[in-house]
Amino acid sequence: MVYCPECDTNLDLEEDEMDEGDVVSCPECGTEYEIITINPIELKPVEDEAYEEEEEEEAEDGDFS
């Protein structure tokens, strides 16, 4: 069984139906994870690129409001 690292909900993933690079989301908290390895299944949180780009632009402009 694979559990959400954020809220410990069982993600109910089938190893034989998953591929490395697939993205799954937790039905409870909505956090998205990329599958890094299949056997055993290892997850990495998917980072919100749009949010990161917005933070970088604010830092470059010096406007943090």
Please list the pLDDT of the chain residue by residue as tens digits (65 residues).
899 999 999 998 888 888 999 999 999 999 999 999 988 889 999 986 554 455 556 556 555 55
9: which residues sit within 8 A by CB, 6+ positions away? 3, 26, 27, 28, 29
Q: What predicted TM-score, i.e. pTM, was given to this entire model?
A: 0.67
Per-residue confidence (pLDDT) for residue 16, from 0 to 100? 84
Per-residue confidence (pLDDT) for residue 39, from 0 to 100? 85
Dist. CA 22–CA 8, nearest whole Å = 20
Per-residue confidence (pLDDT) for residue 1, from 0 to 100? 84
Q: Which residue in this structure is represented by tokens 């604010």?
A: 58
The domain limits of the chain are 15-61
15-61 maps to CATH 3.20.170: no
